Amino acid sequence: MVPILEVADPNLKVELNLSDKRLFSIWDKVQAGERLSSSEGVTLLDTDDLPGVGRMADFAKKRVTGDKVYFVLNRHVNPTNICVLSCKFCDFAKKPGEKDAYEMSIDEILDHVDDDIHEIHIVGGHHPTWPFEYYVEMVKAIKEKAPHVQIKGFTASEIDYFQRRWKVSPEESLAILKEAGLQSMPGGGAEVFSSRVHKILLPGKANADRWAEIHKTAHRMDIPTNCTLLYGHIESFEERIEHLIRLRNIQDETGGFLAFIPLEYQVGMTKLRPRHTPAMDDLKMIAAARLMLDNIKYIKSYWVMLGAATASIGLNFGANDLDGTIGKERIAHAALAESPAGQARESMASSIRDARRIPVERDALYNEIKVYDH
Q: Mind listing the domains of the chain with CATH numbers?
A: 68-371 (3.20.20.70)
pLDDT for 205: 85
pLDDT for 347: 87
pLDDT for 333: 44
Is 69:359 a contact under the CB 8 Å cutoff? yes
pLDDT for 224: 98
Is 89:305 a contact under the CB 8 Å cutoff? no
Name the pTM for this structure. Answer: 0.91
Mark residue 171 as left, alpha or beta (left: phi above 0; alpha: psi -120 to 50; beta: remaining).
Answer: alpha
H or E element, residue 152:
strand 150-153
Residue 316 vs residues 67, 116, 247, 284, 302: alpha-carbon distances, Å: 10, 29, 23, 11, 13
Residue 69 vs residues 293, 340, 368: alpha-carbon distances, Å: 18, 20, 11
Phi and psi at 20, nearest 5°, equal -105, 115
Residue 339 vs residues 91, 261, 314: alpha-carbon distances, Å: 16, 17, 15
Is 365:112 a contact under the CB 8 Å cutoff? no
pLDDT for 153: 97
pLDDT for 4: 60
Length of the chain: 374
CA distance 283 to 68: 19
pLDDT for 340: 44
Q: What does each of the 374 residues of the chain score in pLDDT, given as a tens digit?
A: 344 676 666 667 778 899 999 999 999 999 999 999 999 999 999 999 999 999 999 999 999 999 999 999 999 999 988 887 766 666 767 788 888 889 999 999 998 888 888 999 999 888 889 999 999 999 999 999 999 999 999 999 999 999 999 999 999 999 999 999 999 999 988 889 999 998 988 888 889 999 999 999 999 999 999 999 999 999 999 999 999 999 999 999 999 999 999 999 876 555 555 567 899 999 999 999 999 999 999 999 999 889 989 999 999 999 999 999 876 544 444 444 444 434 578 889 999 999 999 999 999 999 999 999 87
CA distance 121 to 35: 32
